[in-house]
Amino acid sequence: MPLFARAIPELELALLRRGVDELSAEQERCGRCARTPLVGERVYSYDGRPVLCELCRALAPDPPLASHLVHGPEFGHTMRITDHRVAHRARRQRTTTDGT
């Protein structure tokens, strides 16, 4: 077997490992149990400490300062939040001024 044929799977494996490492570095982890919270799970922020997951929050003696939901990787890229109330209000005003 030629050398380059064996090197390609090794290169693929190295690139895969690098990509997984980069993804895991971007994810939030619980400061107590190091668990990665699930999408939709709430994490809690404390003063001067890393965030805690829902499970470890019960063990914290003081109340959290803030909390937020964990979003999936697609959040902000494929979801478009639109406010239909403004368009509905403008349409309703137009029909009342036209008299129809």
93 within some domain? yes
Question: Residue 88's pLDDT is what?
Answer: 67
Query: In terms of residue numbers, what domain contains 57?
Result: 29-98
Confidence grade of residue 29 (pLDDT, cut at 50, 70, 90): confident
Q: Which long-range contacts (CB under 8 A, 24 or more apart) does 75-82 make?
A: none
The number of domains in the chain is: 1
Locus of tokens 């490492």: 21
What is the model's pTM? 0.53
79 within some domain? yes
73 within some domain? yes
2 within some domain? no
Q: Which long-range contacts (CB under 8 A, 24 or more apart) does 74-79 make?
A: none
Mean pLDDT computed over every residue of the chain: 80
- Copy the structure tokens of residue 75: 């959040």
12 within some domain? no
Question: Residue 4's pLDDT is what?
Answer: 56
55 within some domain? yes
63 within some domain? yes
48 within some domain? yes
